[in-house]
Chain A
């Protein structure tokens, strides 16, 4: 029980660490949290994106003349650790707002923390519909197009396919489950004639691809919905290619067009999948050209979707802070609701009704070019066009 001495010592050390950090009083600080150590493939480009944004904002005179400082923390992929980090950022660093997160459960944990502590939170990446709808709260805003929006974009293309027999493959956790549920619901509304003949739920990160592919093939579907990504997607594609699963079948796939997930596939890239993604090489708009040029000049590398998300998260945060002219959370909320701003994908708006941004996504088809996977025939889908009606949203979201 002499233990306590060490404990107090440790507490002192933490305290001292907290003090050493305190930046200049006139700076505006944003607390950023993400799964840097768990998901480096996504978060490295993401970090580059927000660093570029921070640099641009400060070069242009900061926020109403004050320098913007982003303090970044790793959450190790655990909701509990994300909350510890959020607490440190708010209590010790005195940040004006929280931003970031990737995984849905971490996004929800931080959003609940923000609601409890009355702190503004801009969720960057988590896709779960719950964060703006069933578990939405007034302190939380979200940048990326949600599960529902991406499903609606894919359904638009998928419902035009002649296929009637559909099978689904999705990782067995909330993201996969809700992606499949929304896709099925919207699809069946548009096409009452289709049948769902099989579903496979491999554990996230642990797919045993051979048996899964074989089982789907045995159900003999005409089309397949895929929600797996990352290493699971690689295994699925490789087994599917070898076993001829995709031959003569349409495939609709969430996120597969994002460079993070498409590029590793190289010459194994399956052709003709309908996917959401980010074809940075074929977007020809002035906003995107400016972003691309700045990014490539700074990093000598091409951007991934994570770069866009990181860049726009901090750009959005800065726009909100600038409009509010204050770091008071209530004023930040008032400023953010209905605020429009430019983004590399064109103008976006943070909706007042559910705090979802109208950032969209690109839908296109996969193709193989010079031994690399690319997205072709892609077109930008505005987020605003793929959200349910206001009346439905009101029903989904709890009253504040």
Chain B
């Protein structure tokens, strides 16, 4: 019995650490709607600065003072980031801020190694909380007890702050309806900055408090970021109490789960999130989001098919691309093939995001399923390449049909997080089912048949498929199905009123996007000759999101450019420097500030302005059609 109590208390201590970080994320998201990917980075910087301060300052005061000072210092950094970077892009399309914070995270990961060196750092233990307390033969660390008390105390302080101060009232109001708060004359700028600072402070405090039990290193951020997102979503976005309950739930399930299934930790949080979101679409304590007042999609440029001249230009570009094998070497061609494959992957997500308004955080699942489809067909059934290429993507299609059915019941960030949960579940199956998938050692030896083996042939294959896929998806955008899908994106209520079955349309779009991603994955398996669980992983999903956002989410085919720019730059940088993350992160942040509509979005806007400056050629183009509502 004593053991179970001890295990319960241990779980509570883990929950407290998780809650501190999650609460900050929840507050930031609730008010500013920023998906703050850099939250883990702030957590990590908090730990690093606290390490330095607690090593320099002596005594108990030095330790605790160092922890608080570190959190305050990081909060200052947060304020600077908010004012310099995020403030410029609040009006950018939804999720664009994710791109900025992603760039920041990349930079921080390299910066901490440059500043603090590559070694793992182990800080000192907390004065007064070094030992353990004997509980009927079970040792419970006194620092755990400190954390167990701290969690509810922070929850209480936050509750008082939100319920008993004017600032808290404004924050709660903004969480519920920020347009109305703005309309009532509240200075949103400072509200957002202060909320961001409080959130970052909590993240850094959470990181600093890990010093007595963890090692400080440059991968801390990734270790925590996904987990806290999950906790926030399980609890319900913007709900602090929800975050607390979710943290306790997840930590206790883990503490007791490992007694029965020692391998459960790898997937537990995602299983819990999937179940919670299917049963309660807004998390445990969340409420349905208020209907958005702005049209999420197009506001200035109505979409239109390419003009005959533009078609010719696109065709010419394709022909030029197809002549690459005449003068480029094998390496350039293989890179070209990889880029073409990522174009397929990015346009498939772009279709879902910009046409359907459904941002998926787990799109790599379908890419990877396509790749594994190839691996199973080629290795186990021994089918020839052409058959595999036709059938392999069907695994992506199947996955998208099953998971999509559940996912399209939700919307917004909840939709995104459910897709993430499904992707992680698929990933962990690939990772754990060693007998079938080879686990993390993957499936090797999937090389293309001789007709496609040479780099020029494979390049033409990849380029041809990429062109076909892009054309097909474009055609779909301007088909009746595409119009229906855009209708559900722009106004679910109105579209349903005219008889469009929104969920079925969205489900269809999800399956189309998943299958297309599967085609990309199938080609990728043959390009690399092997399949690994990485092909289904979070970082690939994030890459796809970045490509779409970089190209411009409000465009018809921006993802093509986004994929080419991001992938080419990524491959080039990683080949040139070990600090590729630093440079790439900096580049992304620059793009975010200079091109707040993405690269293609910005180019289109410039073209539009030039047309406006000259006498209007077509009155239709100059008129903002869809800015109503």
Chain A residues close to B by CB (< 8 Å)? 1-8, 10-11, 13-15, 17-18, 36-38, 40-41, 43-44, 73-76, 78-81, 83-85, 87-88, 91-92, 104-105, 108-109, 112-113, 115-116, 128, 130, 135, 172-174, 177, 198-203, 205-206, 208-212, 214-215, 217-218, 230-231, 234-235, 238-239, 242-244, 260, 263-266, 268
Contact B530 A210 (CB under 8 A): no
Known: A41-B120, A76-B580, A211-B254. A81 touches B313 (CB 8 A): no
Residue of B nearest to A88 (CB): B331
Known: A1-B560, A10-B339, A243-B139. A172 touches B444 (CB 8 A): no
Q: How far is the CB of B121 from chain A (nearest CB, A)?
A: 7
Contact B139 A13 (CB under 8 A): no
Contact A11 B324 (CB under 8 A): yes
Residue of A nearest to B581 (CB): A37
Contact A215 B580 (CB under 8 A): no
Contact A83 B528 (CB under 8 A): yes
Q: Is B440 an interface residue (CB 8 A)?
A: yes
Q: How far is the CB of A287 from chain B (nearest CB, A)?
A: 27
Q: Is B259 an interface residue (CB 8 A)?
A: yes
Give the size category of B's interface with A: 35 or more
Q: Which residues of B sit under 8 angstroms from A105, Cβ to Cβ?
A: 440-442, 532, 534
Contact B122 A79 (CB under 8 A): no
Contact B339 A202 (CB under 8 A): no
Task: Name B's interface SS.
Answer: helix
Question: How long is the Cα–Cα vector from A1 to B470 in the complex, in angstroms?
Answer: 9
Contact B119 A263 (CB under 8 A): yes
Q: Which residues of B sit under 8 angstroms from A268, Cβ to Cβ?
A: 122
Q: Which residues of B sit under 8 angstroms from A235, Cβ to Cβ?
A: 213-215
Q: How far is the CB of A61 from chain B (nearest CB, A)?
A: 30
Q: Which residues of B sit under 8 angstroms from A234, Cβ to Cβ?
A: 120, 122, 214-215
Contact B444 A6 (CB under 8 A): no
Q: Which residues of A sit under 8 angstroms from B336, Cβ to Cβ?
A: 7, 11
Contact B535 A206 (CB under 8 A): no
Contact B219 A205 (CB under 8 A): yes
Q: Which residues of A sit under 8 angstroms from B143, Cβ to Cβ?
A: 242
Q: How far is the CB of A38 from chain B (nearest CB, A)?
A: 8
Show 28 residue pairs from A and B whose CB-CB distance is below 8 angstroms, ordered by the A residue: A1-B306, A3-B561, A11-B324, A18-B331, A41-B119, A74-B580, A75-B574, A79-B534, A83-B529, A84-B335, A84-B571, A88-B575, A91-B334, A109-B444, A112-B530, A113-B529, A116-B529, A130-B441, A172-B263, A174-B434, A174-B441, A202-B258, A206-B223, A208-B265, A243-B132, A243-B139, A264-B119, A264-B122
Contact B561 A6 (CB under 8 A): yes
Known: A18-B331, A205-B223, A208-B254. A177 touches B434 (CB 8 A): yes
Question: How long is the Cα–Cα vector from A10 to B7 in the complex, in angstroms?
Answer: 56
Contact B259 A41 (CB under 8 A): no
Which of B141, B212, B262, B470 has the largest count of A CB atoms less than 10 A from its CB?
Answer: B262
**Which of A7, A14, A135 is B321 in contact with, Cβ under 8 Å?**
A7
Question: How long is the Cα–Cα vector from A73 to B573 in the complex, in angstroms?
Answer: 10
Residue of A nearest to B444 (CB): A112
12 extra interface residue pairs, beta carbon distance < 8 Å, beyond A79-B528, A87-B331, A218-B259: A1-B306, A7-B317, A7-B564, A7-B568, A15-B332, A74-B577, A104-B441, A109-B530, A173-B439, A214-B10, A242-B139, A264-B215
